[in-house]
Structure 1
Amino acid sequence: MLFLLSPAKSLDYDSPLPEGLPHTAPTFMAQAARLIDVLREKSPQDIASLMSISDPLAALNVARYAAWRARATTANARQAVLAFNGDVYEGLQAQSLSRADLDWAQQHLAILSGLYGVLRPLDLLQPYRLEMGTRLATDAGANLYQFWGKTIAEHLNQRLAADVTPVVVNLASQEYFKSVDRRTLKARVIECVFEDFKGGQYKIISFYAKRARGLMARYAIERRVTTPHQLEGFDLEGYAFDPGASTPERLVFRRKSA
């Protein structure tokens, strides 16, 4: 079983890291280097327009592309699960996971990335910004979905090859999950949906849903979840499985108040 997460726009390269934490190299560094070469051809104004970001943020990322190196080290990078710092990762709280938890996550968690394709939690991540939905033209096509093609799905298939009944639990956004070619993927896909009660009805509230995806990933890591049925016990921060609103491929978790 593999759990998929989206990356985060916010990055943390300042918080102290645990002593002696292991690290690994991203699988698709060659592809990332190709994308960096394309990005380095863009001016700050090009990046601002392409990504719909401010001029200062565009300048920051142009500097990041210039500093990016084909070989990551602990001097210019840190483990992905500790570098990402958005709502999902506030729910995951990876910095408080044990070494054994991180080892398990390394085998069962995959972070989708516009630049790196797929990252394992301990893969070294250099600072960057490149959302999967960015219409960055390359020699492979007009956007990143065409650039990655079947690569991500084939990689997930390889990681699931030893499973008798392979399952992917999608905790990523639709923007990122679209990078997984469903015709190529040879696994059952289960989506987890998190709803809060507001205005007299249950609905998905983006901030809470993102945090809950990280909470679910932490729940799975700490309990070594290996079957879809085990996910139904998720109860962090007041959520509870709602069997009436769920289907076998779409597990719905609800709570009355945040």
Structure 2
Amino acid sequence: MKIIISPSKTQDFSGNISKKIQTPFFIKEANEITDNIKRLSKEELGLMMKIKGKLLEKTYEDYENYDTTNTINHAISSYSGIVFKEINVKAFNEKDLDYANDHLIILSALYGILSPFDGIKPYRLDMKIKIGNISLYEFWKNKIENYFSKEDLIINLASNEFSKLIKLPMVTIDFKEEVDGKYKTIGTYAKQARGMMVNYLIKNNIEQFNKIKEFSMDRYVYNKELSSDKEIIFSRKKL
């Protein structure tokens, strides 16, 4: 079983875990992408990523220094977006960390796939971006799908931007709010819930599919009526 999640644009390299940093599976491909980006001028980089000012300055500097920087950290500790804020890495024991490294995959536009212990450097890159004539979706599609081809179960907690890379059978988990008798997915709440679900799976070392449905946090409960073979829905009523 593999659990897939998206990365976040925001990163924080101040945290760490007591595990040896690993080399990402697709490190050669990541280096190929960074080499292409480093050929761009600052202006070209800004146009490609639609960024400017201090964010452009930092992003350009990160890629310029990519080969020489000493800033490297475990992937699980380095992303700091909404999903990752709910993954309480500091509370994980050795068994939890090992479970996470065996089962959790962070999809990445630069690294392709990342296990929690994989070392990453500061970067910014969206999957929808083209570098020259290179579409990152096309670049990664077959590589990532082949990586997952022998998995018996893929649990999808990633955004559509990343999960659409994988055309293999998988079970998507979604979180909905019940408002006036109607169910809606609200972005920020869904991201928080995805992080809580990842935390639940790791802390309970979940190996059995049906155990996922026992998740019950922040008033979310399994909604059998909305769920199907391909989608597990958790819902909660608006207070």
- TM-score class normalised by the smaller sequence: over 0.9
Question: Percent identity over the alignment?
Answer: 29
TM-fit CA distance, 1:129: 0.5
- Specify whether residues 67 and 102 from structure 1 end up closer, same or farther in structure 2 by C-alpha distance, changes over 3 A only: same
Q: Select 1:247's aligned residue among 228, 232, 239.
A: 228
Is the CA contact (8 Å cut-off) linking 1:36 and 1:65 kept in structure 2?
A: yes
Q: How does 1:203-218 map to 2 (within 5 A)?
A: 203-218=184-199
> Which residue is 2:219 aligned to?
238
2:39 is aligned to 41
d(CA) in 1 for partners of 2:35, 2:21: 25
Q: 1:38 deviation in Å? A: 0.9
Which segments of 5 or more consecutive residues in structure 1 lack a partner in the other structure? 161-165
Q: What letter is aligned with 1:201?
A: K
TM-score normalised per structure 1? 0.87
1:63-84 CA distance string (max 9 Å, x none): 10111128x8xx4200000000
Q: Verify the 8 A CA contact 2:13 2:71 in the aligned structure 1.
A: no
Moved over 4 A (4+): none
What displacement does 1:174 show? 0.5
> Which of 136, 160, 178 matches 1:144?
136
Match of 1:194? 175
Alpha-carbon contact 1:45-1:55 (below 8 Å) kept? no
2:148 corresponds to: 156
Instruction: Decide which moves more: 50-59 or 97-106.
Output: 50-59
Shift of 1:200: 5.1
Q: For residues 198 and 51 of structure 1, what CA distance do their matches in structure 2 show?
A: 36
Question: Which runs of structure 2 are paired with 1:50-129 in the superposition (5 Å)?
Answer: 50-69=48-67, 75-129=70-124
Q: 1-side partners of 2:145 and 2:73: how far apart?
A: 25
Structure 2 portions without partners, runs of 5+: none
Contact 2:222 2:235 in 1 (8 A): yes
Deviations 1:186-221 (A, max 9, x none): xx3000010123465321110110111111111111
In the TM superposition, what is the alpha-carbon distance from 1:115 to its structure 2 partner? 0.2
Counterpart code for 1:24: Q
CA RMSD of aligned residues (A): 1.8
1:31 is matched with which residue: 18, 26, 29? 29
Contact 1:9/1:129 (<8 A) preserved: yes
- Whether the aligned pair in 2 keeps the contact of 1:31 and 1:116 (CA below 8 Å) is yes
Task: Note closer, same or farther for the CA distance 1:200–1:243 as it changes in structure 2 (3 Å cut).
Answer: closer
